[in-house]
Amino acid sequence: MTSPRTFVGFVANFPVDASGSEPAGKALAQFVHSLFVKAGLNSSTPADREGWAWEIHTRDGDLEVTTIVGLVDDMEATPPRQWLVTNTCRIPLLKRLFAAANSQGSRDRMLQALCDVLHTGISRDERFEHVLWYEEKSFDKPGDVPGAHP
């Protein structure tokens, strides 16, 4: 199984202004959270990530995906990238040491399922355009080749 594309950049019609002490993207983070909850994922409500983005934690057993929703506002890029949602999952140390192959497969399956939920929700919503998915390990590096799907 190849690693899924877990970072998604896009342009979307959500407020870009930060409100008070909160970072931009609260409505978008709430939208992402609602997709996860509707799919039956065990996800935390969006929380302020040190004043620059929003984060959501999704658990399945001892695996946890951290989803970060942030404003990039790179509208000069081709294609433009206004928002970025990253999904990362770290395997607990003992699992990495003693069950590496099984843990990596479980991690990849969880990431793929979560990203598929996110992709389906984005694809069905007319507020989103210029949607591109990226691999975590090559994101924004030379030779990075995004795709239309996770």
Task: Output DSSP code: residue 3.
Answer: P
Going from the first residue of the chain to its last (150 residues), give the mean pLDDT of each consecutive group of 10, the final group possibly shorter. Answer: 84 86 95 98 96 96 94 92 95 57 79 97 97 94 93
Strand partners, 81: 74
What per-residue confidence (pLDDT) applies to 129?
97
Angle between helices 26-38 and 100-123 (to 10 degrees): 110
CA distance 147 to 134: 7
What per-residue confidence (pLDDT) applies to 1?
47
What per-residue confidence (pLDDT) applies to 85?
98
Q: Count CB-CB contacts under 10 A for residue 90.
A: 12
What per-residue confidence (pLDDT) applies to 8?
98
